[in-house]
Amino acid sequence: MPPKPYLDRRRAAAAARWELRDEVVVIGAGDLLGKPGRGDQKYPFHVHPEYFYLADRLRPGSVLAFDPAEGWTDFVPEVTEDERVWEGAVPADPGPGEAPHAELDGWLSARSGRPLAVLGAPPAGVEADEELTERLRGLLSMVRRPKDDEELARMRAAVRATEAGYAALRPLIRPGVTERALQVELEAAFFRAGADATAYGTIVGSGPNAAVLHFEPGARALRAGELLLIDAGAEVGGYVADVSRTYPVDGRFTPEQQALYDVVLAAEEASIARCRAGTEVRDLHLAAAVDLTRGLVELGLLRGDPESLVEQEAHSLFFPHGIGHLVGLGVRDAAGGVPGRKPSEHPALKKLRTDLPLEPGMAITIEPGIYFIPALLDDPARRERHRDQVDWDRVERLRDFGGIRIEDDVLVTAGDPEILTAGIPKR
Ligand code: GLY
Ligand code: MN
């Protein structure tokens, strides 16, 4: 028996989906990685989510094993003297369902010849049946996608810390303050409000930097008249929030900024309203692309019928990413599709990494954006392809505009969607 009831439930759900007879499974937590050329220094440990979901343990090198005839065993490395000296690690007797890591080899050799799936981070020297591994991974993703009460409690705690960060940040935004200063204050407020970590590299992009999708903040000072794009979230107990907001640096949007902001906000609100059980993520993405494109046509930046502009991928000049991704156990949670389903051939869906129908309990980010990205707008092939569809002179004048992204985390329910991050103002 695992020590926590929610692990018992998750493991039972995975075993029920897998329907194994002779096959066995190991799921690796992953190992600490040394920094090249830096002696005993290690990168921060990021546990593999497939292991963490089923074991809720952060110990590097652990391997969870499953034999349908005998159940689950978590092979956990013993604490070394060095770890006790340098890290203060405390050795514990193996708990229920735990065994010393040294016993893993014996467990595997007692089952040699049986098909073996290797999930998580593959432990060294273990040879997987690739086809079985991919099949079980797809089925485990389906189990992981609807969040359970324990997961939701941690996500709500991450949201509370994220809200505290945005609340602390807002009054600090003004000309002259640096991106770095805002990052530091935002992250400090996350930690003061209970965060264990940031969910991903905090994005603070001012002016043209707001058009860099994963911008890393630096020493640049904000200037009056510019936009500021923040994309940041806190992590608690392995679970995260992922939120973006775009603000005018001096407190007021210019009319052009306001018009584009309103297009993105309307697309975001319409997309959130579509997050109902049964909705396909591919349809969410297409509908958002059409909404944004319609807005750009109304503002005169694009010319033509919005649906056919999306068919011809004109929207991707300004909206080059997906409408969202599953979120929870990490900032990209259980991506992918439905096992056995073919990817869409629609040109606007070729790059979609999450392609599935929404179910109650799933949490998804909704994050439309409009950006002016020189790397795309200056590309001769795109300029030629969309020659008559874009007001290129106007685009040229908006070269330094940056971008606007508005992102919330949405919980799909049996009824109306719940906006988990609704406490972070957008107006
Ligand atoms: N928050 C960053 C991203 O979703 O890509
Ligand atoms: Mn996101």
pLDDT digits (tens, 9 = 90+) for 51-106: 999 999 999 999 999 999 999 999 999 999 999 999 898 877 778 889 999 999 99
Ligand sitting nearest the alpha carbon of 213: 1
Atom of ligand 1 nearest to the CA of 327: 4
233 φ/ψ angles, rounded to the nearest 5 degrees: -155, 160
Tokens of 353: 């990494």
Q: What is the mean pLDDT of residues 395-415?
A: 98
**Degrees, nearest 5: CA angle 156-160-162:** 110
Ligand 1 mean position, distance from CA 331 (Å)? 7
Atom of ligand 1 nearest to the CA of 233: 1
Atom of ligand 1 nearest to the CA of 199: 1
Check residue 28 and give its pLDDT. Answer: 98
Strands (E), 37-85: 63-67, 71-76
Residue 351 has pLDDT above 80, yes or no: no
Provide the mean pLDDT of the chain: 96
Band of residue 337 on the pLDDT scale cut at 50, 70, 90 = confident
**Degrees, nearest 5: CA angle 235-238-240:** 40
Ligand 1 mean position, distance from CA 389 (Å)? 29
Ligand 2 mean position, distance from CA 18 (Å)? 30
Band of residue 348 on the pLDDT scale cut at 50, 70, 90 = confident
Q: How far is Cα 136 from Cα 134, in angstroms, rounded to an integer?
A: 6
Q: Ligand 1 pocket: which residues have CB below 6 Å?
A: 200, 231, 242, 331
- pLDDT, one tens digit per residue, over 122-140 is 999 999 999 999 999 999 9
List the beta bridge partners of residue 10: none
- pLDDT, one tens digit per residue, over 231-263 is 999 999 999 999 999 999 999 999 999 999 999
Using alpha carbons, select from 256, 252, 265, 267 the residue that is nearest to residue 299: 256
Residue 1 has pLDDT above 60, yes or no: no
The secondary structure of residue 77, as a DSSP letter, is P
Ligand 1 mean position, distance from CA 371 (Å)? 15
Size of the chain, expressed as the number of residues it contains: 427
Check residue 339 and give its pLDDT. Answer: 80
End-to-end C-alpha distance for the chain, whole angstroms: 49
**Degrees, nearest 5: CA angle 213-217-220:** 115
Check residue 155 and give its pLDDT. Answer: 98
pTM for this predicted structure: 0.96
The secondary structure of residue 201, as a DSSP letter, is P
